[in-house]
Amino acid sequence: MGIVATIFRQRRAVLVGLLIVLLHAALFSFISGTVALPRLPAASSMEFVQAQVLPTPPAPPPAPLAPPLPKPLPPPPLPELAQDSAPVLNEDAVGPPVEPGNGGTGEAPVDSAAPAIAAAAPPPASPPAEAPAPPVPLVPEMRRYKVDVPPPATITMDVARVDADGTRWNGEAQLLWTIRDDTYHIEFEAGIRIVFTRVNLAVLTSEGALGATGFMPVKMTEKRRGRALTATHFDWSHDKISFSSSQKTIALAAGAQDKASVPLQLAAIARGDPAQLAGEIDIQVGEDRDAVMFRFVVVGQEEIDTKLGKLQTVHLSRPPKEGSYRSRLDVWLAPGKGWYPVQIRNTEANGAVTTQTVNNIALTDTGK
């Protein structure tokens, strides 16, 4: 029995193993028929391509750069005319305001724990004092001159300017005035030449009446390069000068002038009586923001060279005045040319000098 059992167990193991092999074979056959496996192409149908990596060709050399074009030279800066002839005055001193007195009556507070005690009433206070009105500026007393207004004309002048750093400029100026009935109109222009262009540096106009003291300006306008137009007003009925660019009001003196009319007023004084040129000549001049007293002195007789030839002149000068103006103004009047101003020079505080010398005088119609 033991041998038979052993043989039976061996056969059973063989049968089980065979059965497992058959089941695996059947399963493999089923999977093979259901899922198609990819087939590799035959070796005979494959084509081979041989590639060779070539070196990168060198980049061509860069084209030479064109030399940069030279930049055009900028034009020279225009001269800046300093307002050295403008006054430098201290502001008017203003006193401290008057405070009104503290008036009123009242009673002392009453303590609830003590009997009421009536406070003595102070005497009624006087009404607060009004601040005193500012004093009206007095009209300065001026020397009276005999005048003879020069006939209308157009004076053309050559302008030569030397800046403080030595830079030189050339240009042209024109002083023109006309008379109609008892009124006048003055125009003054000054400019420089840059290549083929003329640039105006200053334009002044003056208009007003003609009276016993000579030119009596009513309004002057001034336009300087790079600055706004300003106006100065002369109120002869109320004896005051006012300004568009300043809140000041200046007392108007007899014979007052503006910057455009000053040279012609000097000519009118000389034409009235040359002996009046002796000593000092004081003229109140209204400018763009203020009015100051120009004091001219006679330097002497001089001969100057002009395009009209050598001219005998009387040289007048207004030297700098501390606290009023820092520039020097020189005017040359020519007796042989109707006492017209034939040369004007302004020396600024920084050393810049502008000289205007006559090259032509043309008489114009009086307009009467």
Helices (H), 80-125: none
Domain boundary assignment for the chain? 153-363
Average pLDDT of every residue of the chain: 78
The structure's pTM equals: 0.64
A 10 A CB-CB count for 279 gives 11
CATH topology of domain 153-363: outer membrane lipoprotein receptor (LolB), chain A (2.50.20)
Mean pLDDT of 339-355: 94
Candidates 274, 278, 348, 283; CA nearest to 312 is: 274
One-letter amino acid at 141 equals E
Least confident range of 98-112, 115-129, 251-265, 289-303: 98-112
Does residue 261 surpass a pLDDT of 70?
yes
Candidates 149, 95, 162, 148; CA nearest to 347 is: 162
Candidates 176, 189, 118; CA nearest to 150 is: 176
| 84-126 pLDDT, tens digit each | 443 333 333 333 333 444 444 444 444 444 334 344 445 555 5
pLDDT of residue 21: 74
